[in-house]
Amino acid sequence: MNMIASWIGNIPDFAVPFALAALGLIVIERSGVLALGAEGLMLVGALTGIGASLMTGGATVWALIIAMIAAAVVSQLFALMVLVMRINQVIAGLALVFFCQGLTGLLGTLMNWTNKPVSGLQSVSLWPLSELPVVGKLFVQNPVVYLTPIIFVLVVLVLNRSVTGLRLRAVGENPQAADAAGIPVLAYRCAAIAAGSALIGLAGAYISVLSTKMWIADMVGGRGWIAVALVIFARWAPWKALAGALLFGCIEALIPQMAASGIRLPQYFVFMTPYAVTLGVMIWVAIVSRDNSSQPGALGEPFIREERR
Amino acid sequence: MFDATDFQPLLARRYTLEVRQQMAWYWQALVIALALIVGLLISAAILVAAGVPAGELLNEFVILTLFDNQSLRAVLFQAAPLIMVGLAGCLAFRARFWNLGLEGQMIWGAIGATAISLFEIGPPALRLPLMMACALVCGLLWALAPALLKLHLKVNEIISTLMLNYIALNFLLHLVYGSWKDPRDSFPYSPQYRVFERLPELLDGLSLAVVIAMLVALFVLWFTGVSRAGLYLRFVDNSPGVARAVGVPVTRVILGTVLLSGALAGLAGFMVTAGQEGRLTHSFYAGYGFSGILIAFLARNQPIAATVVALLVATLFVAGRSLQVFYQIPFSMVQLIQAILVICVASSEFFIRHRIRRIQGGQG
């Protein structure tokens, strides 16, 4: 019983990075830009979060904000590649991941930020919910966990209920029509990349600053790629992505529980589970649904209006 | 006579972006060369910022690595597995398959070869060919699942191959920290291969690995340029629909090419383990997957060009290791430099495909 309670209590901590990264990816991809760079941007967020936390002596809130800004700034390199240089979006996304992996690995060592513990944020109990049996620990979390559903509501409102969101989706569905209607296509895509990347950076900083509380090279460990897959399962719908993130949070939260429970399972096979589940869900989705109707119409296609004057 | 536009202030002039029809090959080469130079200059600036004295850079990279006999051998030796992964990348990309699973396929190739050594399968004289064959088969099998999933269920191969990399990596760790650990000490690696299980040196300093890599490059050149499968592959690449309509076995051509790509990556995995430490280690594969994709991209999927680019990347690897030793610069620098080069060259295509022209008589 105790084990189940502590497992449930750990789920949000593992689910939040997936949820925020997937939400950021949805914002970018709804504008018609195929974003494969999440893994790299999460690394940038994770490293700058720790760096800022160490340099400011534990100003965690500022560290998270700086991480978001850093990811948004680095994402403009991607924006330059796909919007201005019109590089194939798959190549640009992969190049961004490799660039960020190299850069964060290098800076983490040169600045001597590796394996230095940071303080993180204090947990906040939501009394009286925190006194509930079994699920009580769900309501003893750091503030960012409570903030995540609010961020989701805000992003969904902007995407689905505002003129800005309508234009953003129009740019992703049919950029030629949006352009004819006078919407600045590239500006919207650029802004979507920056805003989405800030969320992805926050996801990375969550892992390093609030969860692991230190930086280790390549610590994101494929979660960015899982988030990319999550967006595909969720058919670009934010709430479905949140549900998927919770599923992966449940699985990842099981890993330390299994080690603690004394069940004799080969450790490295347990570590494989998130990746195997991702693969399994991808196959399942491919078998069950064949409709691509919810995919942004212009996803992955560069917008080229020739004779631009 | 002067044109009226010549007297306009600079910002009042109007420009237009046009798509070029075609650019002569020598201009293309010039643009790419310029992009590489820009990338190298940015990399050099980063190296100087990281603490390498600017004067030492030229010495470290060019003179020490290319004009010293021993380092030249190290470069050739390093190039062999890089040529293999580069060719694996070329093949997969020609089939329009984003094989990001090169590292997973390398890991399985190395595991397969090591299994032959550990369980002493076959007589000593046949051991080395057996290990290489096993590496080929294991790499091929690890590429089979994502290829079938893509062809039959349209499962995105970028994600599936990457997920399989993490699964392969965890299996490797399970082996080298577990049952395959060398009983003589506590480091995460397998027992060393025996002398007859390692790739021998043929001539003075010329490893068999280099010869195999050259032969494989020739084979890939034949496969893509001369063979019937290569012809089909170009057909499928240009227009899958038309290819299918005229009876080209599209699925089989793509499947075969991707499997060949996986097999080459598997053999590359064996080359790295046999060449470097002569055993399975927990991180032998690191960086090769990315380099394979980079080599294929820079070489535009041409086998001969891939061999040349692989030699350059090998130089970077060797120089990166000496920078690590002498200036404590982490090896991630090598990955960063490669990423910068990719970004620069990819960006240069913009100038090959477009031109900026002033509009004649354009009046605001």
Question: What band does B291 get if pLDDT is binned at 50, 70 and 90?
Answer: very high
B contacts of A308 (beta carbons < 8 Å): 16-17
Separation between Cα atoms, residue B104 and residue B147, nearest integer Å: 14
Sketch out chain B's domains with CATH numbers. 23-51+329-353 (no CATH), 72-327 (1.10.3470)
- Give chain A's length: 309
Residue B102 pLDDT exceeds 80: yes
Mean pLDDT of B190-203: 83
Mean pLDDT of A249-260: 85
- Helix or strand or coil: residue B258? helix
Residue B4 pLDDT exceeds 70: no
Q: Which pLDDT score is estimated for B192?
A: 86
Residue B333 pLDDT exceeds 70: yes
ipTM: 0.92
Q: Which pLDDT score is estimated for A306?
A: 60
Mean pLDDT of A165-179: 93
SS (H, E, C) A89-122: HHHHHHHHHHHHHHHHHHHHHHCCCECCCCCCCC
Separation between Cα atoms, residue B232 and residue B257, nearest integer Å: 11
**B359 contact A CB<8A:** yes
- pTM of the prediction? 0.92
Report the range of poorest mean pLDDT among A171-180, B49-58, B104-113, B326-335: B49-58
Nearest Cβ partner of B162 from A225, A286, A304?
A225
Neighbours of A148 (CB within 10 A): 23
Separation between Cα atoms, residue A69 and residue A76, nearest integer Å: 11
Stated as kind and residue range, the H or E segment containing A261 is helix A238-261
**B171 contact A CB<8A:** yes
Mean pLDDT of A15-44: 96
Residue A52 pLDDT exceeds 80: yes
Query: Taking CA atoms, what residue in A is nearest to B177?
Result: A268
The candidate with the shortest Cα–Cα distance to B157, out of A81, A264, A180, A232, is: A232
**B297 contact A CB<8A:** yes
Nearest Cβ partner of A282 from B100, B159, B343?
B159
Domain boundaries, chain A: 16-121+145-288
Separation between Cα atoms, residue B81 and residue A307, nearest integer Å: 47
Most distant CA pair in chain A: distance in Å? 69
Is residue A212 within 8 Å of residue A13, measured between CB atoms?
A: no
Mean pLDDT of B10-14: 62
How far is the alpha carbon of B350 from chain A, nearest alpha carbon, in Å? 6
Mean pLDDT of A226-233: 94
Question: What band does A292 get if pLDDT is binned at 50, 70 and 90?
Answer: low
A229/B159 CB distance under 8 A: yes
Mean pLDDT of B263-273: 95
Mean pLDDT of A37-49: 97
Is residue B358 within 8 Å of residue B5, measured between CB atoms?
A: yes
Q: Which pLDDT score is estimated for B323?
A: 84
Residue B231 pLDDT exceeds 80: yes
- Supply the mean pLDDT for chain B: 87
A85/B350 CB distance under 8 A: yes
Q: Which pLDDT score is estimated for A307?
A: 45
Backbone region of residue A264 per phi and psi (left: phi > 0; alpha: psi in -120 to 50; beta: other values): beta
Residue B24 pLDDT exceeds 50: yes
Q: Which pLDDT score is estimated for A1?
A: 63
Question: What band does A41 get if pLDDT is binned at 50, 70 and 90?
Answer: very high
The candidate with the shortest Cα–Cα distance to B88, out of B100, B75, B74, B76, is: B100
Residue A142 pLDDT exceeds 70: yes
Q: Which residues contact B88 (CB under 8 A, 6 or more apart)?
A: B99, B102, B105, B261, B262, B264, B265, B268, B292
Neighbours of B160 (CB within 10 A): 25
pLDDT digits (tens, 9 = 90+) for B269-289: 999 998 877 889 988 998 899
Separation between Cα atoms, residue B146 and residue B157, nearest integer Å: 6
C-alpha A74, offset from chain centre: 15
Separation between Cα atoms, residue A247 and residue A251, nearest integer Å: 6
Separation between Cα atoms, residue A48 and residue B275, nearest integer Å: 38
C-alpha B314, offset from chain centre: 10
How far is the alpha carbon of B335 from chain A, nearest alpha carbon, in Å? 5
How far is the alpha carbon of A285 from chain B, nearest alpha carbon, in Å? 9
B167/A109 CB distance under 8 A: no
**B50 contact A CB<8A:** yes
| CA separation, residue B13 to residues A134, B9, B362 (Å) | 71, 7, 7
**SS3 breakdown of chain A: % helix, strand, coil, rounded to 5?**
70, 0, 25
Q: Does domain A16-121+145-288 have CATH number 1.10.3470?
A: yes
Separation between Cα atoms, residue A301 and residue B277, nearest integer Å: 45
Residue A19 pLDDT exceeds 90: yes
pLDDT digits (tens, 9 = 90+) for B114-123: 999 999 888 8
Q: Which pLDDT score is estimated for A309?
A: 35
Percentage of chain B lying above the pLDDT 90 cut = 51
Best of B46, B97, B153, B162 to disrupt the A interface (most A CBs within 10 Å) is B162
Residue A97 pLDDT exceeds 70: yes
Size of interface A-B (CB pairs under 8 A): 139
Q: Which residues contact B31 (CB under 8 A, 6 or more apart)?
A: B23, B348, B351, B352
